[in-house]
Amino acid sequence: MTLLDAARKVRENAYVPYSNFKVGAALRTASGTVYVGVNVENVAYPEGTCAEAGAIAAMVAAGETELAEVAVIADSPTPVPPCGGCRQKLAEFGAKDTPVTLGTLSGATLKTTIGDLLPGQFDKSHMDNA
């Protein structure tokens, strides 16, 4: 199963009673393990949490911290990029050249990298004088 297929499969578990916009994400770590996540909405926070954040939380909870590849999928006319917060989270755990595949249910894909998604990212080197 490809990483995009894993994201497609888990996407069906998204909890989106307000937007009905399901997003699935799958991450492969340096160890080869795949973690998945979906977006989750609730009445107090109807915009919800992102699929990428859920997959990252599962990865960190399992004791891993190094991304090797990312895939995100949604039912959209064009591939949906991660939100700004998730881009920063991806940058925390992946290198600038870490591949990211964004996909749609109709089969469109966009291949990019974490660095292209978040140019000029804040990283730990910015705190070297602290």
Catalytic amino acids?
A: 52
What is the spatial distance between Cα 93 and Cα 109, in angstroms, rounded to a whole number? Answer: 23
In contact, 117 and 82? CB cutoff 8 Å: yes
Distance between CA atoms of 92 and 30, rounded to whole angstroms? 14
**Spatial CA neighbour of 22 closest among 4, 44, 40:** 40
